[in-house]
């Protein structure tokens, strides 16, 4: 019977120790939570102050905008009166007809073409490409790239893809020999 009492005492002491440990952890958690809430409250107050300042500035801007709008209405009325006075003093000019601008457009296009043709024939300038030739450069050069020689038949079209082209050609030959579709 004495051992049962000792077991009960040890169990009670262990349970009391666990309870004290849990209570200390809970107290620490509660103190940290209260510090966090106080910090949030301070930041919230600061945010509210900033929002109030912004709202006040927006109100001032709206008042200024209303003042400008009121003065613009006065300017609009004055400009309308001035326009009426000008209309009364001088008659309006007739609007140009749409067909009147077509000959000017045609003449401008003709002058541009003549100027381009004469400019291409000046000495020291390259002649325009002749009909039947792919490019105006000397033979043996790429069209549009006179500084680079033409590619030889054994060179790959794109040097960085030489390995890929060889692999594709090999794979294509293997499919053909096996009778597989392309």
pLDDT, tens digit, 9 for 90 and up, residues 142-159: 454 555 556 666 665 655
For the chain, how long is the longest CA-to-CA vector? 129
Residue 63: inside a domain, yes or no?
Answer: yes
Residue 104: inside a domain, yes or no?
Answer: no
In this structure, how many other beta carbons lie within 10 angstroms of the beta carbon of residue 134?
9
Determine the length of the chain.
Answer: 182
The whole-number pLDDT of residue 30 equals 95
| Number of domains within the chain | 1
- At residue 117 the predicted structure's pLDDT band, cuts being 50, 70 and 90, is confident
The whole-number pLDDT of residue 141 equals 47
The whole-number pLDDT of residue 104 equals 84
Q: Return all residues near 140 (Cβ < 8 A) that are at least 6 apart.
A: 149, 150
The Cα 1–Cα 93 span in angstroms is 126
> H-helix or E-strand containing 141?
strand 141-142
Residue 45: inside a domain, yes or no?
Answer: yes
The Cα 21–Cα 97 span in angstroms is 98
Range of the domain at 75: 1-86
């Amino acid at each position: 019977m004495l051992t049962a009492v000792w077991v009960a005492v040890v169990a009670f002491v262990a349970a009391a120790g666990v309870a004290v440990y849990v209570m200390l952890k809970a107290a620490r958690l509660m103190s940290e939570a209260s510090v966090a809430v106080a910090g949030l409250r301070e930041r919230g107050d600061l945010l509210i102050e900033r929002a109030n300042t912004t709202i006040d500035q927006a109100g001032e801007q709206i008042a200024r905008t209303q003042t400008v709008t009121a003065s613009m209405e006065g300017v609009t009325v004055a400009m309308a009166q001035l326009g009426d006075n000008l209309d009364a003093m001088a008659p309006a000019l007739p609007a140009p007809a749409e067909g009147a601008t077509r000959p000017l457009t045609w003449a401008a296009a003709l002058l541009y073409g003549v100027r381009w043709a004469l400019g291409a024939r000046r000495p020291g300038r390259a002649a325009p490409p002749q009909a039947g030739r792919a490019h105006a450069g000397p033979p043996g050069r790429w069209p549009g790239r006179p500084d680079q020689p033409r590619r030889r038949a054994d060179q790959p079209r794109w040097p960085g893809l030489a390995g890929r082209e060889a692999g594709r050609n090999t794979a294509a030959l293997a499919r053909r020999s096996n009778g597989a579709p392309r």
